[in-house]
Amino acid sequence: MEKLAIFGGTPVRETPIAYGKQCVEQDDIDAVVETLRSDFITCGPKVDALEEKLCEVTGARYAVVVSNGTAALHLAALAAGFGEGDEVIVSSVTFAASSNCVLYCGAKPVFADIRPDTYNIDPESIEKLITPRTKGIVAVDFTGQAVEHDAIREICKKHNLILIEDAAHAIGTKYKGRPVGSIADMTCFSFHPVKTVTSGEGGAITTNDEQLYHRLMRLRTHGITRNPEEMVHPTDALWYNEQVELGYNYRMTEFQAALLLSQLKKLPKFSARRKEIVEKYDKAFSEMPEIFVQREIPESDTTRHLYILRLNLDKLTCDRRQFFDALYAENTRPQVHYLPVYWHSYYEKLGYQKGICPNAEKYYEEVMSIPLYYSLTDADTDDVIRAVKKVVEYYRK
Ligand SMILES: *Cc1c(COP(=O)(O)O)cnc(C)c1O
């Protein structure tokens, strides 16, 4: 058996690979530079063109581009009307922003458990948490896999709930042939550099509902309107605009929009490469009884954002921490996605207790994300697989 690098052996590779990385090419850079030389550097023609492009990519009727994914979730939660006294059911395994947006509005997040094999929100768990105060659901397409829309739509219909889909991981994914972004009441995207396409910082909300669209547009710019029909004191004065509610400045710059427009042209190739890598990892790891491979539902045609390596701890002598550290020393640099949201100390202070989502908690103790991004070479993915094998063999029972 090979000596692990963490105990002084030679690492599988010399240079570290991170779990994620953006791909910015010369044409992306040119698009940004060209925009910086133009008349508009914020909220101009590039943002308009980007919104149009996002409608094309997602099949949604409307798109509202904002400064980041968290801003997208915040505005969606406000437009959904979440507020004091409302409960909103949220995925428990996700980035804190999915749930923080509910808190921003003064409503209460209620955490639903995940399925033990897909790691997505479990519709049966949602159903059990519904009370007369439940107003909506924030469902996350975890790792990029679409949530179980058919089951969730049934629940929403039955209990009159609004569905916000957090698709920060899922641009390019389809559910039963329909692109994510055209299915939920509102769908939120993030364009942070680690996601499949990036604008540096950036986000968007898509919707098919005209009223929600107008509300989101207004909330993006301070709650100010130029539409006389929305005003309390309408006038035909050309300079007049009116703040009719409390909004924010969540606008995106033109150069970010230019970058994202350029990136979106490459979504098909980014998506294809990610699928190729996932297939290769799945094949390698399904042969190892020490590793669980994430289950894909047949309805989801997934552009994967994260690859989750889940350990079968019954077959290993180590725990997740030891495995993580060993893999890290081999220069495959993993990350963990995610701590169950309510385990964060802030949520603990709000009164959430451990034990409410057993599948999520077990999941958290057994996982790490391994490198998955467009520019990983075949040699890189071979190294990742060799590193995982090396650690598995060392700790095999
Ligand atoms: C990245 C991410 C967000 C937040 O997006 P930002 O653009 O970083 O604000 C929200 N939810 C999930 C699931 C994410 O992965």
144 Cα: distance to centroid of ligand 1 (angstroms) = 12
Count of alpha carbons within 13 angstroms of residue 187, beta-carbon side? 30
CA nearest to 152, candidates 89, 82, 58? 89
Which atom of ligand 1 lies at the shortest distance from residue 337's CA? 15
The rounded Å distance from CA 169 to ligand 1 centre is 8
Asked whether 200 and 193 are in contact (CB, 8 A), the reply is: yes
Structure tokens at 153: 């739509």
What are φ and ψ of residue 264, in 5° steps? -65, -25
Which stretches within 145-266 are classed as H helix?
Answer: 149-159, 210-220, 254-265
Helical spans, DSSP H, in the chain:
26-36, 45-58, 69-79, 97-104, 123-129, 149-159, 210-220, 254-265, 267-286, 320-329, 345-349, 358-366, 378-395
Q: Which of 92, 147, 192, 308 to mutate to test the pocket of ligand 1 (most atoms within 8 A of CB)?
A: 192
Sort residue 18 into left (φ over 0), alpha (ψ -120 to 50) or beta: beta
- Give the chain's radius of gyration (CA, Å): 22
* The predicted structure's pLDDT at residue 1: 80
Ligand 1 pocket mutation, candidates 70, 143, 187, criterion most atoms within 8 A of CB: 70
Task: Please report the atom of ligand 1 found closest to the CA of residue 94.
Answer: 13
- Protein residue closest via CA to atom 2 of ligand 1: 168
Q: For the chain of 397 residues, list the mean pLDDT of each consecutive stretch of 10.
A: 94 96 98 96 96 98 98 98 98 98 98 98 98 98 98 98 98 98 98 98 98 98 95 94 97 98 98 98 98 98 98 98 98 98 98 98 98 98 98 97
Picking from 393, 326, 395, the residue whose alpha carbon sits closest to that of residue 11 is 326
Order of all β-strands in the sheet with 186-190:
62-66, 203-207, 186-190, 162-166, 134-140, 87-91, 108-112
Which CA distances in Å does 202 have to 71, 233, 255?
Answer: 9, 34, 11
The tokens describing 354, both together, are 């451990």
Calculate the dihedral angle through the C-alpha atoms of 78, 114, 326, 280, rounding to the nearest 10 degrees. Answer: -100
Q: What is the pLDDT of residue 313?
A: 98
Q: What is the pLDDT of residue 94?
A: 98
- State which amino acid sits at residue 274: R
pLDDT in the model for residue 208: 98
Q: How far is the CA of 70 from the centre of ligand 1 (A)?
A: 6
